[in-house]
Amino acid sequence: MTAPSPKIDLHMHTTLSDGRLTPEELVGLLDRQGVDIAAVTDHDSTQGLDAAMAAAEGFPRLRLVAGIEISADHPTDERSDVHVLGYFLDYHNDAFQQRLAGFRDERLYRGERMVERLLEQGYAVEWERVLEIAGDAGVGRPHIAQALVERGHIATVKDAFNGLLNDEGTAFVDRPHISIAESVELIASVGGVAVLAHPLYVPGYEALIPQLAGFGIVGFEVHYGDFKPDQRRDLERLAERYGMLPTGGSDYHAMGHEGEHLPGTVGPPAEVFAELEKRAEAVRAHG
């Protein structure tokens, strides 16, 4: 008899970015889902981690990893961004937190400009309402999408991304990002390791993957809910070829739409997680 493999999920969001569950609610769900190891990875923020860690103390079998998902510039495609996941962060660090606060300020400015563009195109939403929806989170397109749905302009959040808010959309406004290398440095500055999120959503990922090690990235997501078995097999091979750890997770947002992957239903095997943790220890050892 072999021990059952642990349930590991290294990608999920809370109300501190564009997820719909509070950190406490998410941790409760992780327990009900029987998850053993989970990383909370809010966009450009670690503000949910203290509450998540505190809540997790009530569930001794659950191990929470301090994570983040940073939006970085795509190296060649101006309108796209690349999401860099960071794990094992010593996030109580003033310089690090100031940097993240700067990202949230940029999100405010850019969000307001998107709302202006929407108004010009006949989709009036109140900026105040967007701020309310975002709550404690940095303003993101999903919050604006929700405001559009509430006002009856658009049927679903997904539809709002179709032509209006997507990267090629008529109301899209970009915001300044840091480079991939800088995001890796920022993560390493608090003792963390960096992994590329959902490579299949990155335009030109075939050209990017061979460069990842050069940026200091140690892996990319292979075990990702929306990737099909044959896509995962191809990514697994690429990971092997370029010495990248095949990580992954559900990217759970609690949007409640059909087919949403629940926490713990997708993620990397235990050996991959163990290796990821070793890499983080190496980052710390090299200061």
Alpha helices, DSSP H, located in the chain:
23-32, 49-56, 94-120, 127-134, 141-150, 157-160, 180-188, 205-208, 212-215, 229-241, 270-285
How many chain residues touch Fe ion (CB under 5 A)? 4
Strand order of the sheet with strand 8-9? 8-9, 37-40, 63-73, 81-87, 193-196, 219-224, 245-249
Distances (CA, A) of 271 to 219, 244, 267: 13, 13, 12
- By CB under 5 A, which span of 18-26, 115-123, 214-222, 258-266 interacts with Zn ion? 18-26
Residue 59 as a binder of ligand AMP (CB under 6 A): the answer is no
Instruction: Give the span between the Cα atoms of 33 and 249, in whole angstroms.
Output: 14
Tell me the site size for Zn ion, rule CB under 5 A: 1
Stretch that binds ligand AMP, among 45-53, 136-144, 177-185, 278-286 (CB under 6 A): 136-144
Q: How far is the CB of 48 from ligand AMP (least distance, A)?
A: 15
Say how far apart CA 8 and CA 11 lie, in whole Å.
Answer: 10
Give the shortest CB-256-to-Fe ion separation in angstroms: 16
Residue 221 within binding range of Zn ion, rule CB under 5 A: no
Site string for Fe ion, 80-109 (x = CB under 5 A): ---x--------------------------
Q: Say whether residue 74 binds ligand AMP (CB under 6 A).
A: no
Element (H or E) spanning 34, and its range? none
Tokens, residue 249: 């997770």
Span from 56-64, 118-126, 158-166, 234-242 in contact with ligand AMP (CB under 6 A): 158-166
Q: How far is the CB of 14 from Fe ion (least distance, A)?
A: 11
**Beta-strand pair 193-196/81-87:** antiparallel
- Give the rounded distance of the alpha carbon of 180 from its chain centre: 14
Q: Is 18 in the site for Zn ion (CB under 5 A)?
A: yes
Asked whether position 81 contacts Zn ion by CB under 5 A, the answer is no
Residue 199 interacting with ligand AMP (CB under 6 A):
no
State the first-to-last Cα distance of the chain, in angstroms, to the nearest integer.
41
Q: Which residues bind ligand AMP (CB under 6 A)?
A: 18, 43, 71, 140-142, 158, 161, 166
Q: Which residues bind Fe ion (CB under 5 A)?
A: 69, 83, 197, 251
Q: Which residues bind Zn ion (CB under 5 A)?
A: 18
